[in-house]
Amino acid sequence: MNISTSDVILLAHAAFGVTGCLAALWVFVEALNAQSGNAARIRAAALMTALSMAAAWICGGYWYVHFYPAEKAVILMGPWPFAHNLFMETKEHLFLITGILAFLLPVVAREKLYPNAVARKLVLAVAALIVITGLAVEGAGAVIEHGAKVALLRGGLKGDR
């Protein structure tokens, strides 16, 4: 088995991102049934969302700065250059919005949701936005990796022809 540091960091990035999305979904479901009894669970899940997204941000950022340039060159010479030009360019900026929303979630989850309908609505909205943008970013990550894969396996690199 030959697992490089690059592989570990990239997979950790995706795993933390999925964990953050699941934690935000957990907040959403708990907030739908907000009671005095689940207030602590909502705050814990909101904190888990922020911590997971921060870890995904750090791992993804480190990988992007140190390892992505080589993969970008491969993608751009392959049959799916849009995997970088559209999907990576969008993902690397859209993720920052997901991250900001993830940091916002523990702040708004400090509200007393049980007696406050508008606070519940706010937590539901923030959690839903994290899940939607987070899943879009995860999907974009899959397209980017596939862009590198088809460059190496299917079409070959333009530079090789």
Partner 1 sequence: MNSATAPELPKLTAVSSGFVLAAAITALFNTALAWARDAYAPLNGILKSLTGNPWIAHCLADLVLFAGLGFVFAKTRAAEKIDPSRLIGALIAAVAIAALGLVLWFAFV
The residues that touch partner 1, with contacts defined as CB under 8 A, are 33-35, 57, 61, 64-65, 85-86, 89-90, 92-94, 96-97, 99-101, 103-104, 107-108, 110-112, 114-119, 121-122, 125-126, 129, 133, 136
CA distance 104 to 29: 18
- Of 3 and 65, nearer to partner 1 (C-beta) is 65
Q: Is 154 helix (H, G, I), strand (E, B) or coil?
A: coil
CA distance 130 to 49: 9
Smallest separation (angstroms) from partner 1 to the CB of 136 = 8
- Of 1 and 65, nearer to partner 1 (C-beta) is 65
- Of 115 and 159, nearer to partner 1 (C-beta) is 115
Query: Is residue 12 exposed (0-12), middle (13-18) or buried (19+ Cβ within 10 Å)?
Result: middle
CB 152 within 8 A of CB 77: no
Smallest separation (angstroms) from partner 1 to the CB of 31 = 11
